[in-house]
Structure 1
Amino acid sequence: MKAILAIFFILVLLDPATLLHLSLKERKSPLRTSSSEVVSEAIQKLQEVFAFGELPHNITPAKKPPQFMLELYSRVAGPDGSTKAPGILEGNVVRSFENKVLSEAGTSFFFFNISSVGRKERMLKAELRVFKWKPLGMPARYHFCRVDVYELLDSASRPWRGNLITSRLLPLHSQGWEMFNVTQTVSGWVGDDSTNHGFLITFTLPSGNFLDTDLSGLTKQNLDSKRSYLVLFSDDGRRGVPNPYMPPAKAKETGISLSSEDSLHPTTYKSRKARDVYPDRYPSCQRKPLYVDFEDIGWAGWIISPKGYNAYHCTGTCIFPMGKGLGATNHATVQSIVHALKLNKDIATPCCVPDRLNSINLLYFDDEENVVLKQYDDMVAVSCGCH
Structure 2
Amino acid sequence: MAGLELALALAGLLSLPAASGLPLRPGPRDEVLAAALQRLREVFDIEELPPNVLPRKKPPQFMVDLFNKVADANGITRSPGLLESDVVRSFEDRVHLDQYHFYFDISAMEKGERMLKAEFRVFKLKRTHVPRRSDMKHFCKVEVYELLESGSKPQKKHLVASRLLSLYTEGWEVFNVTQTVSKWVGNSSSNHGFLITATHVFNNRIEHNLVKFAKSQGTLQESRNALLVLFTNSNKQRPPSFIPSATKQEMKPAKNDASHVPREAQVIESRNAGMSRRPRAAEIPSVKSQVTACHRRELYVDFHAIGWSGWIIYPSGYNAFYCRGSCLFPLGESLNATNHATVQSIVHTLKLSQDISTPCCVPDELKSLNLLYFDDKENVVLKNYKDMVATRCGCH
TM over 0.5: yes
Q: Counterpart in 1 of 2:213?
A: 216
1:60 Cα deviation from its structure 2 partner: 5.4
Three-state SS of the structure 1 residue aligned to 2:344 is helix
Query: Contact 1:119/1:191 (CA < 8 Å) preserved in 2?
Result: no
Mapped to 1, the partners of 2:208 and 2:337 lie a distance apart of 72
1:372 and 2:376 are equivalent in the alignment: no
Q: Counterpart in 2 of 1:179?
A: 174
Query: Contact 1:10/1:42 (CA < 8 Å) preserved in 2?
Result: no
Query: Contact 2:10/2:37 (CA < 8 Å) preserved in 1?
Result: no
Mapped to 1, the partners of 2:126 and 2:289 lie a distance apart of 72
1:344 Cα deviation from its structure 2 partner: 3.3
Aligned mate of 1:132, from 105, 124, 127: 124
Structure 2 letter corresponding to 1:150:
Y
Q: Counterpart in 2 of 1:41?
A: 35
1:86 Cα deviation from its structure 2 partner: 1.1
Aligned mate of 1:154, from 149, 152, 164: 149
Deviations 1:57-101 (A, max 9, x none): 141532111111111111111111111111111212111110011
Aligned mate of 2:62, from 56, 62, 68: 68
The count of corresponding residues between Structure 1 and Structure 2 is 327
Q: Counterpart in 2 of 1:359?
A: 368
1:332 and 2:332 are equivalent in the alignment: no
Q: 1:1-387 counterparts in 2 under 5 A? A: 9=7, 11=9, 33-59=27-53, 61-104=55-98, 108-137=100-129, 139-140=131-132, 141-206=136-201, 207-213=203-209, 215-218=212-215, 220-222=217-219, 223-237=221-235, 280-387=289-396
Mapped to 2, the partners of 1:184 and 1:376 lie a distance apart of 27
1:12 Cα deviation from its structure 2 partner: 6.3
Superposition TM-score, scaled by structure 2 size:
0.76
Three-state SS of the structure 1 residue aligned to 2:305 is helix
Q: Greater relative contact order: 1 or 2 (C-alpha under 8 angstroms, separation 6 or more)?
A: 2
1:219 Cα deviation from its structure 2 partner: 7.1
1:103 Cα deviation from its structure 2 partner: 4.6
Structure 2 letter corresponding to 1:231:
V
Question: Where in structure 2 are there 5+ consecutive unaligned residues?
Answer: 13-24, 239-286
Structure 1 letter corresponding to 2:152:
S
Q: Counterpart in 2 of 1:255?
A: none
Cα pair distance change 1:174/1:82, threshold 3 Å: same
Structure 2 letter corresponding to 1:153:
L
Superposition TM-score, scaled by structure 1 size:
0.78
Identical residues among aligned pairs (%):
53
1:238 Cα deviation from its structure 2 partner: 6.5
Deviations 1:157-213 (A, max 9, x none): 222111100111111122221111111111222222122121111112233332232
Query: Contact 1:119/1:190 (CA < 8 Å) preserved in 2?
Result: no
